[in-house]
Amino acid sequence: MTADRAEEARTQVRVTVEGRGDANVATGVPVLDHLLTLLAAYSSIDLALEVAPGNAEEEVRAAGRSLGAALADSLHASDVRGHGSAVVPSAEALAHVALEASAEPLLVSHVDLTEARLGGVSTDIVAAFLRELSTGASITLHVRLLDGDDAHHVLEAIFKALGTAVAQALRPRRRKEEPHV
């Protein structure tokens, strides 16, 4: 399935969930471009995302919201699992990400990068990206840092784990799953 969205006039996104992990990303924030390229590779989705230049925080929020909206229908489809979880390393960092398609979007994260800076950008804007992604996709998203000190490695581990969890959530259901009581 391919989804095209222009949630805002300044953001263009195209997602192919049956992709190969190809990415063409231009958010205006090089660190985020790198992280979204990792997400595409680990989720095996093809991603084209462009955000018109502006304030870095606005660019990050627009990218998260637009990507989430582009993934929403696929994550909520009745023939896919709709949930996924992964623990993935990047050097010394180890992150756990779990997600579930939900009627009540929510981000639960215990990762504090408020003091870290990467590529001239405060890395806590990644939390803003993840919040917007969870809202746009209507998912519950849990992010845990199990180990790691280097901000670059921490962010890579989070986005690799996120990509893997998205890939799991998009897998076809193999059997009829009964609702939990």
Q: Taking the CB of residue 180, how many other CB atoms lie within 10 A of it?
A: 4
Domain 2-169, architecture per CATH: 2-Layer Sandwich (3.30)
Amino acid at 11: T
Q: Which residues contact 118 (CB under 8 A, 6 or more apart)?
A: 31, 151, 152, 155
Q: Read off the pLDDT band of 117 (50, 70, 90).
A: low
User: Quick check: helix, strand or coil at residue 53?
Assistant: coil
Mean pLDDT of 111-135: 79
Evaluate whether 80 touches 49 at the Cβ level (below 8 Å): no
Instruction: List, edge to edge, every strand of the sheet that includes 23-26.
Output: 2-5, 11-16, 46-51, 23-26
Cα 11 to Cα 50: distance, rounded to the nearest angstrom: 6
pLDDT for 60-92, tens place per residue? 899 999 999 999 999 999 999 999 999 999 999
For 3-7, 91-95, 120-124, which range has the lowest pLDDT when averaged over its residues?
Answer: 3-7
Cα 178 to Cα 181: distance, rounded to the nearest angstrom: 9
Give me the pLDDT at residue 10, please.
79
Evaluate whether 109 touches 127 at the Cβ level (below 8 Å): yes
Chain centroid, CA 1 distance in Å: 18
**Above pLDDT 90, what percent of the chain?**
69
pTM: 0.89
pLDDT of residue 93 exceeding 70: yes
Mean pLDDT of 24-35: 91
Residue 52 burial by Cβ neighbours in a 10 Å radius (0-12, 13-18, 19+): middle
pLDDT for 40-49, tens place per residue? 999 999 999 9
Helix (H) or strand (E) segment spanning residue 14: strand 11-16
Give me the pLDDT at residue 28, please.
85
Widest pairwise Cα distance in the chain: 48
Give me the pLDDT at residue 79, please.
96
Residue among 21, 12, 16, 22 nearest 2 (CA): 16
pLDDT of residue 153 exceeding 50: yes
Cα 181 to Cα 164: distance, rounded to the nearest angstrom: 28
